[in-house]
Amino acid sequence: LELVIAGEGPLQSGIETKARELGIKESVTILPFLCEEERESWLEFCEMAVFPSFYEPFGIAAQESMAAGAAVAVGNNGGWNDFVIDRVTGFQVDFNDPYKAAYALAEI
């Protein structure tokens, strides 16, 4: 299992630190901002795209992942619900409880 995070931002150093603390640094890849072609190339290899946002008004990234053929797990709130029907077109997960979310993702 490899976790790939695309994008840069203020949380990057914290993610890198947490990966080292958990002993999974070699299984976590953090990529810079990707252009459309690079993103599509990465999505071709992606088995699952997980979007743990607590609110997402549109969900464009999830839709792009679905179009690329990846299974999609999204938060069970916000704009996701317009197109991610739990266990039909994707998976809705309660990310408020990280343990329940981990269990739900492991079951997919």
Backbone φ and ψ for 35, nearest 5 degrees, come out as -75, 170
> Above pLDDT 90, what percent of the chain?
72
Structural domain boundaries enclosing 73: 43-108
Any domain includes 63: yes
Average pLDDT, the chain: 91
Q: Does residue 96 lie in a domain region?
A: yes
pLDDT tens figures, 38-72: 999 999 889 999 998 877 778 888 999 999 999 99
Instruction: With a cut of 90, say whether residue 7 has pLDDT above it.
Output: no
- pLDDT tens by residue, 8-21: 889 999 999 999 99
Q: How many CB atoms lie within 10 A of CB 75?
A: 24
Decide if 87 is inside a domain. Answer: yes
The answer to whether position 38 is within a domain reads: no
